[in-house]
Amino acid sequence: MIYCVIPRELADELYDKMVDYYRDNPNVTVIVDRREGADRRKESEPRLEDVEKRTTRDRRRAHPGTFPDVDQPPE
């Protein structure tokens, strides 16, 4: 199911147009956003996903070795 969410401020202007546009697609439902108030997710404790983010490490290691001897170029 796919939802086409229309902001409340634009509902009068867009709702009928979008219902008509998606009329032939049974997988799309047009709805008007009715949420009110502040976004509560920002006021609460941090989510576990945010606290325990994976860290990317550089796993490459320096390989000790020697370089071949190089003769100095003639002047």
Structure tokens at 52: 């325990």
Position 43 in a domain? no
Position 69 in a domain? no
Structure tokens at 32: 């008007």
Residue 69 predicted with pLDDT over 70 = yes
* 25 closest CA partner among 3, 45, 48, 50: 3
Position 45 in a domain? no
Position 46 in a domain? no
Question: What's the pTM value of the predicted model, to 2 decimals?
Answer: 0.51
Question: How do residues 5-37 score in pLDDT, each as one tens digit?
Answer: 999 999 999 999 999 999 999 999 999 999 888
Q: How many domains does the chain have?
A: 1
Position 20 in a domain? yes
Position 26 in a domain? yes
Looking at residue 25, its pLDDT comes to: 95
If you average pLDDT over residues 50-66, what whole number do you get?
A: 75
Residue 44 DSSP symbol: S
| Domain with 8 in it | 1-34
Residue 16 DSSP symbol: H
